[in-house]
């Protein structure tokens, strides 16, 4: 049987909000033109409440995102053309459906 998470054993807990610290969780991304990152483990795909520290692209292709620091509403989509399999090292609040052909995308996030 798997044991439950034990905060007393987690030596990295104090750095949860440090943007340069490794991600604490990985969330599958469902690209959307209208919603910021959502958490599919929550009912009705509720918003995560946090932005991705970076993305992992599992299948190469175009990736269109809105940066976490873009305060516009809805924000300005930015295209990463022909992004290879691997990390997209930037903080992201939305992965756009329109213009994204890459798939199997994971958001690297911190627990809130």
By CB neighbour count within 10 A (0-12 exposed, 13-18 middle, 19+ buried), where does 12 fall? exposed
Structure tokens at 22: 């490794």
pLDDT digits (tens, 9 = 90+) for 50-72: 788 899 999 999 999 999 888 88
pTM of the model: 0.78
- Predicted confidence at residue 23, as pLDDT, reads 84
Q: Put the strands of the sheet holding 92-95 in their side by side order.
A: 78-83, 61-67, 92-95
* Nearest CA among 26, 38, 90, 27 for reference residue 63: 90
pLDDT digits (tens, 9 = 90+) for 61-108: 999 999 988 888 888 999 999 999 999 999 899 999 999 999 999 999
- Predicted confidence at residue 95, as pLDDT, reads 95
- Predicted confidence at residue 8, as pLDDT, reads 61
Looking at residues 11-26, what average pLDDT do you find? 68
């Amino acid at each position: 049987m798997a044991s439950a998470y034990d905060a007393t054993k987690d030596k990295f807990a104090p750095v949860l909000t440090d943007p340069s610290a490794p991600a604490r969780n990985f969330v599958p991304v469902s690209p959307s033109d209208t919603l910021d990152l959502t958490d599919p483990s929550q009912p009705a795909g509720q918003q995560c409440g946090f932005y991705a520290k970076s993305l992992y692209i599992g299948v190469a292709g175009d990736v269109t995102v809105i940066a976490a620091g873009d305060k516009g509403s809805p924000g300005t989509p930015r295209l990463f053309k022909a992004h290879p399999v691997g990390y997209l090292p930037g903080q992201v609040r939305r992965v756009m459906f329109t213009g994204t052909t890459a798939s199997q995308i994971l958001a690297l996030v911190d627990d809130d």
